[in-house]
A and B are shown apart, each in its own frame.
Chain A
Amino acid sequence: MFERFSSEARSTVTRAYDVRQRRGDRQIGCEHLLIGLASAGEPHLLSEGLTESSLEQALAAGPGSPESDAQALRAIGIDIERIRDNVDKVFGPEAWTDAEPALKRSGGITERILGRSARLTPAAKKALELALREAIVDHSREISTTHLLRAILRSPGTVVPAIVPDATLARLRESTRRAA
């Protein structure tokens, strides 16, 4: 399928790989592809003011971040700030920070041996397939960055809606639908 990607779309995937590596994430997801698109200068994203750095910042504050965890726990009645204060009070001021779980692993043995073989999440894989379908619908020989963006916006089960405001997502769906 990659041979049908335009050179910009191909560069998006390479950039998504770099973003993943920089963040220490295990797999390439739609969020990495989206940041890859912004970094490749995808015009619809640019016109919404979404840049590589703004999206990376949003991702850093997104699901799994301390802010988002605190909010998630508050919703079920747990005050994580109180727990953190207690831990630091009992075990020393750095105890909480020092105990940060190492949940992110920098890739398995296969990846270490084969180098650039980070795997796509199922949602990202699905988005690439969708992008191909978008290109076919457009009677386009090439899969463009816009096809890719359209596919990412349509892919269910991604963190993209958590890092891009709803209104912006709606406008992007509209603007990418018109012109490919």
Chain B
Amino acid sequence: MDEDDLTATDPAVGLAAVAALHRLAERLENVHVDHAREAGWSWAEIAAVLGVSKQAAHQKHQRREE
């Protein structure tokens, strides 16, 4: 809980940072996928850049457009 406890060797610090990074990545993915869709990108184009299948990108983000 203390700021002083946050040493780099504490696994809790590293794990919390990784969990926070996942949430940050998810949020940024939403931001940029929305932006790409508004700019007229197809799901295939978005998926290619994200490195996932077209189905995966579509399934994950389509809901956000509705």
A interface residues, Cβ below 8 angstroms from B: 63-64, 68-73, 75-76, 78, 80, 83, 87, 91, 95-96, 98-101, 103, 161-162, 165-166
B20 engages A73 (CB within 8 Å)? yes
Prevailing SS type, chain A contact patch: helix
B50 within 8 A of A: no
Prevailing SS type, chain B contact patch: helix
CA distance A76 to B1 in the complex (A): 17
Measured between beta carbons, the chain A residues less than 8 angstroms from B23 are: 64, 69, 101, 103
CA distance A87 to B34 in the complex (A): 12
Kindly state the interface size class of chain B when it binds its partner: 10 to 19
B29 CB to closest chain A CB, in angstroms? 8
Partner of A87, one of B6, B16, B26, B28: B28
Measured between beta carbons, the chain B residues less than 8 angstroms from A75 are: 6, 8, 13, 16-17
B31 within 8 A of A: yes
Given contacts A95-B31, A162-B1, contact A72 B26 (CB under 8 A): no
